[in-house]
Each structure stands twice: as C-alpha cells, then as structure tokens.
Amino acid sequence: MGRFADPSKQAPQQTKTKNKGARRRKRMFVAMMALFLIWAGSTLWSQNDRIRNQNEALTQKQEDYKSVEQSLTQITHEVERLKDPEYIGQIARKKFGLYLPNETPIIQPQNSGETP
C-alpha cells in the first residue's frame, strides 16, 4: 500500500483523519483572518475619526488666522494714517473740539429729524 495504491483500498479511517485536520486548519485560518479583519477595521475607524477631528480643528484655526490677518491689516492701515499730521488734526477737531489758533469753526445746528 504505497502512495500510488488505489484510494479505495486505503483504510477509511485515514482519510477521515486527513479531512478532520484539513477542516481544523481551515477553521483556524478563517478565525485568524476574521480577527485580523476586525483589528484592521477598528484601527482604520479610529484613524479616520482622528483625521476628521484634526481637519475640523485645522479649519477652525484657518478661520481664526484669516480674522487675525484682517484685523492686523486694519491696524497697520490705522497706524499708517496716524503718521499723517492732517489726519491727527482731523481727529483732534472731531473728537476733542481742538482747532488751530487762527481757525474759525463752523458748527451746524442739529435739527430734530428735519431735512431741508
């Protein structure tokens, strides 16, 4: 009974033992693959959640940066205007009522909602 012998002449118990071992190996392989896929899926899910949170934080910080950049531009423009003596004189006249010594202010009376 060598390996080239007719399979029908072999002992039936030997083929059953081979089938049991093959089934067991297949079940172990499927179980290991299922565990691997579950682990990979959970890792992918957590990384996706982390990336989404970081993208939201990045978007918020970009909006904050734009608003800060805009206010910086306004402040820089105001500083440049404050270097002009004529603008300083306009502020002094408007807010504090200060005029040059030979300047005569013209003040318009305010009407209570009437238009000419």
Three-class SS of residue 101?
coil
Measured in degrees and rounded to the nearest 5, phi and psi for residue 105 equal -75, 145
Which residues make Cβ contacts (< 8 Å) with residue 99, sequence separation at least 6?
93, 105
Residues 6+ apart with CB under 8 A from 97: 105
Structure confidence by residue, pLDDT tens digits, 94-103: 888 888 888 8
Which of 17-31, 37-51, 61-75 shows the lowest per-residue confidence on average (mean pLDDT)? 17-31
Band of residue 58 on the pLDDT scale cut at 50, 70, 90: very high
For all residues of the chain together, what is the average pLDDT?
86
The number of CA neighbours under 13 Å toward the Cβ of 11 is 5
Q: Residue ranges of the domains in the chain? A: 21-96
d(CA 53, CA 66): 20
| Spacing of C-alpha 11 from chain mean position | 68
> CA–CA separation, 41 vs 47, rounded Å?
10
Pairwise CA distance, residues 83 & 73, whole Å: 16
* CB within 8 Å of 9: residues ≥ 6 apart: 1
